[in-house]
Structure 1
Amino acid sequence: MKIAFVIDQMKYGGIERVAINYLKILVDLGYEIDIFILDSNVESIVEDIPDKCNIYYINYSKYYSKYFYWPLIERNKYGLYLLPALSLLLFLFNKIYKITKIKKTRYDLAIAFSGHINDLTFVAELINAKTKLSWLHGSLSSYMLISKAYGILYNKIKKIVVLSTDGQEEVLIYNKWLNLDIYKLYNPISFTEKKVDIEKIKYLKEKYGSFFLVVSRMSPQKDPYTIIDSMEILSKKYDINNNVLFLGNGPEMSKVKEYARKTSISHLINFLGNVSDVENYYSSAQLFIHSSPLEGLPTVLLESLYFEVPIVATDSKPGVREILGNNEYGRICPVGDSKAMAREISSLLSDEKIYNKYKSLSKDRADDFSEIKITKELLYIIKNSSL
């Protein structure tokens, strides 16, 4: 089977790490993979793509898609008149783009993995494939609020993978109009090829002590500010003064650094940017903290479970409770509530029995997202969707 795997970028982030795990699975299953990266400005994570994949850098921006401009109709009184002319120009542009830039290969399966306007358009309209499949990493309603064009693109592709029960139920509600084939599949976790470095772990513990870990892109959608605020509350109210390590870069980095600099606990907040050996940081951390308002199925929580790091997370819809249940495998607090986050962290650290309970349950829960289990379910989806 020949598969076109399309992703909008290859930078350090949860979607990209999951993509690499899937690419490894697909290669191990014996499929021939062409991966299309729609932004040639990549980071070193691209080196983790399996050697057997054929990589094509195709600069295809969201601005090349007529669907990106659909909100013009809703937000601009002239949109009804502008959109048809713009759509015609982009239709012609994409016809030429397809002829001159895209391989003439006919694929058995094309996957729009990022689930954004550009990779959805690329798969729906530019790739020649017998079967097409899209991934939905977040809440369908949040995408539909951005633009109803997402619904049109999903309808063109017809088949969609969701990451949680809530996500599945939400798509079923929209399915009265969309008529999609829906599959639920957890993200796989895999660190089998990466061995922890005992010396690096020793160094991290000596330098930062019993530190809290945050792995996230620095963007407004991830809300690092709630974590910083909760750290200040922990210091002032609970006399807890642990270092916090933020791993990840992003457009909000300078703003977040400035925000942290103005706090009384700025000396405890450490921004380390992207790291290639994240497994050593998980293995060294006392606690993992997550603060996003919306998440499909946060990879970082799965990784934390794998390394038996107790978790305090905001109630990001729809994915956090899919992983942690109702506080069974980690502590959950309301989105954007720094006081509640500080209270949960303090409670967890002050009760050794509860803390150790979460550590002992973590690996068992992580097994539900194991590569072996997900491989079987992915194989079923690929075969079933091709019928």
Structure 2
Amino acid sequence: MKKKVLFYNGSLRMGGIERVLVEVLQNLDRNNLDIDLVIEDGIRSLNIFERDIPKDIKLYYLKPEEVIKKTDFYRQNRKNIFHKIIYNLMMAYEGYIKKENLKKIVKDKNYDVVIDFDMGLSKQIDLVEAKKKIAWIHANIKSWYVREDRIKRLGERLQKYTKIVAICEAMKESTIELFPFLKDKIVRIYNPFNFERVIKKSEESIDENLKEYYDKDFIVSIMRLTEHQKDFDTLILGLKLTKEKGVKEKLYILGDGPDREKIEEKIKKEGMEKDIILLGNIKNPYPWIKKAKMLVHSSKYEGLPTVLIEALILDKIVISSDCPTGPREILENGEIGYLYNIGDYRKLGELIVENLKNSEIDLDLIRERILKYSKDVVIKEYEKIILG
């Protein structure tokens, strides 16, 4: 008899967690699992990964598109006191709609397992009947939640779960340090990667409208445009330093986000608008990674940054900030990639210049070290925790 499983996630938009979720759902043995997928964000035109969800998985949305768009309108205009009041009311209404729709979806469904894949269900986890409840942690909690009262509340909610999965060893240890009372519940399972699919997709053709950029020599970064998490100041200044040393390669940043205008202003302020190009969301980034001279990652904190592993799969030089958590673990303390301290734009610039001059890397070592992230290894761990 199949196990009845509920997966929950905030969206199916372009993002690291969403890509991992799709990989998991595509590769789980659904001969043994009957899966429902509940997504909070109902703006389907932006949920580009919806098309990649296997057709036998039942998909539900919690928040209607018109409600989300109305809330967002008032959010953008909340400097006006009247709009701010309506925004707060709309946020409360969104919470009510989410709760009521969740109740309807899970009514009379006795799940064997519920997987709260982004911890967005933690406030409503009591509404779902399940024998086993598992939370997935994708980011360093202290960096993500910041405030002590929020961290404390999260610890209280996590006690309601049967198991808590951290996606790297450093994250597991930092979570145990924060919540020692959860030690026996916390396990580590890496994100799964379909190496063959990444390599195959890297060989696909690119959008003809972007060919003028693709045909040049370039360095690539793939990041959400948000200054809360990503360190664009260091990235911009680091690349500016390389220009002073004669580097011709441009930097293409793939991704979008709420701070795009601020980042564009910073690029312009440093006179780098011809050298740092924001290409926006590109669903298939792999041809760009494959063609790039290297991948550079500049973050203040992470979970397990998937793009670093994808770049290693494609035999690329990887340079990353040594932020919590993930990069040091992925790059094996600098043995299969390069690390620089957060904010050290001079070191970043030096690493770029040095590796453009000498791009030799030990491919055999890298390929051996990253096998632990392959879907064949990781999906077995998923199935063990779900079916066990």
TM-score band (shorter)? 0.7 to 0.9
Structure-2 change in CA distance of 1:27 and 1:57 (3 Å): farther
Counterpart-to-counterpart distance in 1, 2:331 and 2:269: 33
Cα deviation code 1:222-264 (max 9, x no counterpart): 122321111111101x211211111111101121122212323
Counterpart-to-counterpart distance in 2, 1:315 and 1:29: 41
Residue pairs, 1:65-214, within 5 angstroms: 99-100=103-104, 102-115=106-119, 118-122=120-124, 124-143=125-144, 145-146=146-147, 147=150, 148-178=152-182, 180-190=184-194, 192-193=196-197, 194-197=200-203, 199-200=205-206, 207-214=214-221
Cα deviation code 1:72-122 (max 9, x no counterpart): xxxxxxxxxxxxxxxxx999998755544544311111011113xx32223
Counterpart-to-counterpart distance in 1, 2:101 and 2:335: 50
Residue pairs, 1:12-91, within 5 angstroms: 12-28=14-30, 30-41=32-43, 42-59=46-63
Q: Does the alignment pair 1:227 with 2:231?
A: no
8 Å contact from structure 1 (residues 27, 52) kept in 2 = no
SS in 2 for 1:312: strand
8 Å contact from structure 2 (residues 42, 64) kept in 1 = no
Deviates more, 1:355-364 or 1:220-229: 355-364
Cα deviation code 1:292-326 (max 9, x no counterpart): 11111110111111111110000021211110012
AA aligned to 2:19 is R
Structure-2 change in CA distance of 1:150 and 1:209 (3 Å): same
8 Å contact from structure 1 (residues 158, 180) kept in 2 = no
SS in 2 for 1:326: helix
AA aligned to 2:59 is I
Residue pairs, 1:213-362, within 5 angstroms: 213-220=220-227, 221-236=229-244, 238-351=245-358, 355-362=359-366
Give the alignment's TM-score, normalised by structure 2. Answer: 0.82
Counterpart-to-counterpart distance in 2, 1:93 and 1:31: 29
SS in 2 for 1:332: strand
Counterpart-to-counterpart distance in 1, 2:372 and 2:345: 30
The Cα shift of 1:358 comes to 4.6
AA aligned to 1:142 is S
Counterpart-to-counterpart distance in 1, 2:239 and 2:176: 40
The Cα shift of 1:265 comes to 2.7
- Mark the runs of 5 or more structure 2 residues left unpaired by the alignment: 66-92
SS in 2 for 1:264: coil
Give the alignment's TM-score, normalised by structure 1. Answer: 0.82
8 Å contact from structure 1 (residues 213, 288) kept in 2 = yes
8 Å contact from structure 1 (residues 38, 119) kept in 2 = no
Structure-2 change in CA distance of 1:264 and 1:3 (3 Å): same
Q: Does the alignment pair 1:376 with 2:377?
A: no
- Which consecutive segments of 4 or more residues in structure 1 shift more than 6 A? 89-95
Aligned length, in residue pairs: 350
Counterpart-to-counterpart distance in 1, 2:58 and 2:101: 20
- Mark the runs of 5 or more structure 1 residues left unpaired by the alignment: 62-88
Counterpart-to-counterpart distance in 2, 1:198 and 1:367: 24
8 Å contact from structure 2 (residues 63, 97) kept in 1 = no
Counterpart-to-counterpart distance in 2, 1:261 and 1:302: 31
AA aligned to 1:233 is L
Counterpart-to-counterpart distance in 1, 2:36 and 2:301: 30
8 Å contact from structure 1 (residues 144, 151) kept in 2 = no
The Cα shift of 1:32 comes to 1.5
The Cα shift of 1:132 comes to 0.3
Counterpart-to-counterpart distance in 1, 2:334 and 2:231: 21
SS in 1 for 2:224: coil
Q: C-alpha root-mean-square deviation of aligned residues, in Å?
A: 2.8
Q: What percent of counterpart residues are identical?
A: 28
